[in-house]
Amino acid sequence: DSGVTQTPKHLITATGQRVTLRCSPRSGDLSVYWYQQSLDQGLQFLIQYYNGEERAKGNILERFSAQQFPDLHSELNLSSLELGDSALYFCASSVGGGGRGSYNEQFFGPGTRLTVL
Amino acid sequence: DAKTTQPTSMDCAEGRAANLPCNHSTISGNEYVYWYRQIHSQGPQYIIHGLKNNETNEMASLIITEDRKSSTLILPHATLRDTAVYYCIVLTSGNTPLVFGKGTRLSVIA
């Protein structure tokens, strides 16, 4: 158990719908990362938040958005869903925010499996 | 971040050492070598990281060549539970987004 929790575990929805994935980081971790894993694209970084602020952005579609709340939990919102959005979505957390020389590892949650029909 | 090259797959007999190579010939002086693994559809798991010295922890050992252009992750006594995809990643900091390649699929065989 990494200490990172994600809900829900599974989500089945239809094209065009909107869903929200939730992540609670490990106690004391200030950074939250979202990753997407699909069969054809592998594991891809989407977005990082550090202490409530967006820190880095990856291959995140405009239909997707995220935020980190004052209690440090994070939500990933996916809208206008397409079949290709079906994937495993992982949240990870780490202590720091990316400064040079900070080499804390990232702890990953169990993921949310999204199926778009 | 520098790119890494890993073999697509490897087999290892249970109880033997698993040696997973990684090439990172364009690594910069301030970049670390990190290893993560992913056991079937679970969240990736951190294993070990190093800069230029060899490192060992309870899970594995990391051997980095003197020129830092390649490294080897060693699982000293592989078990069936070590069957996973292993990712070698080069980073300036552990708190930056991870860039995953295709990794090496290690199969530990009884």
Query: pLDDT of B38-82, one tens digit each?
Result: 999 899 999 999 999 899 999 999 999 999 999 999 999 999 999
Whole-Å CA distances, B64 to A83, B32, B47, B49, B69: 42, 10, 15, 10, 8
Are B98 and B89 contacting, i.e. CB atoms less than 8 angstroms apart? yes
Residue appearing with tokens 């929790």? A5
Query: pLDDT tens string for chain A (117 positions)?
Result: 889 999 999 999 999 999 999 999 999 999 999 999 998 888 999 999 999 999 999 989 999 999 999 999 999 999 999 999 999 999 999 987 655 555 678 999 999 999 999
- The pLDDT assigned to B29 comes to 87
- The pLDDT assigned to B42 comes to 94
The two tokens of residue B81 are 């539970």
Average pLDDT along chain B:
93
Residue appearing with tokens 């990190």? B34
Are A31 and A12 contacting, i.e. CB atoms less than 8 angstroms apart? no
Is the pLDDT reported for residue B21 higher than 70?
yes
- The pLDDT assigned to B61 comes to 98
Tell me which amino acid residue A92 is.
A
- The pLDDT assigned to B41 comes to 87
DSSP assignment letter at A83 = G
Tell me which chain A residues have a C-beta less than 8 angstroms from the C-beta of B96.
48, 56, 98
- The pLDDT assigned to A97 comes to 64
- Find all residues with CB under 8 Å of A28, minimum gap 6, and list them: A95
B92 touches chain A (CB under 8 A): yes
Residue appearing with tokens 């029909």? A117
Are B95 and A104 contacting, i.e. CB atoms less than 8 angstroms apart? yes
Reported confidence tier of residue B96, pLDDT bands at 50, 70, 90 = confident
Find, among A28, A2, A29, the residue nearest to A111 by Cα.
Answer: A2
- Residue B80 has φ and ψ, to the nearest 5°, of -60, -30
Is the pLDDT reported for residue B95 higher than 80?
no
- The pLDDT assigned to B94 comes to 60
Is the pLDDT reported for residue B93 higher than 90?
no
Tell me which chain B residues have a C-beta less than 8 angstroms from the C-beta of A56.
96-97
In whole angstroms, give the CA distance from residue A52 to residue A34.
14
Nearest to A103 among B42, B49, B99 (CB): B49
- The pLDDT assigned to A102 comes to 56
Q: Measured at the alpha carbon of residue B74, what is the angle toward residues B73 and B78, in degrees to the nearest 5?
A: 130
Nearest to A96 among B30, B41, B95 (CB): B95
